[in-house]
Amino acid sequence: MFVYKTFGVCSRKITFEITDGILHNVRFVGGCNGNTQGVSRLCEGMEAETVIERLRGVDCGGRGTSCPDQLARAVRSALDGTCETC
């Protein structure tokens, strides 16, 4: 289980698992409940690299990031082994 502390968004952290390159059990703590549930469900069972490609760079209100972008960053960090909060 990976735990990623978010920044610049309403959600406070994201938890998830990666098994054989596939993303599972994505959960956001905080944030816009309906949107984060939707992102979590859409990403379930997807290849981690695909999640990164699709979500990286999504912006929320000019913040330069978003909950989906934070998930992409978290997954990249987990795959690279650089996730400081994992």
52-68: average pLDDT = 96
5-30: average pLDDT = 96
- 20: buried, middle or exposed (CB in 10 Å: 19+, 13-18, 0-12)? exposed
Give the integer Cα–Cα distance in Å for 4 and 62: 22
- Domains of the chain as residue ranges with CATH: 2-80 (3.30.390)
62-67: average pLDDT = 96
pLDDT of 84 reads 67
pLDDT of 82 reads 84
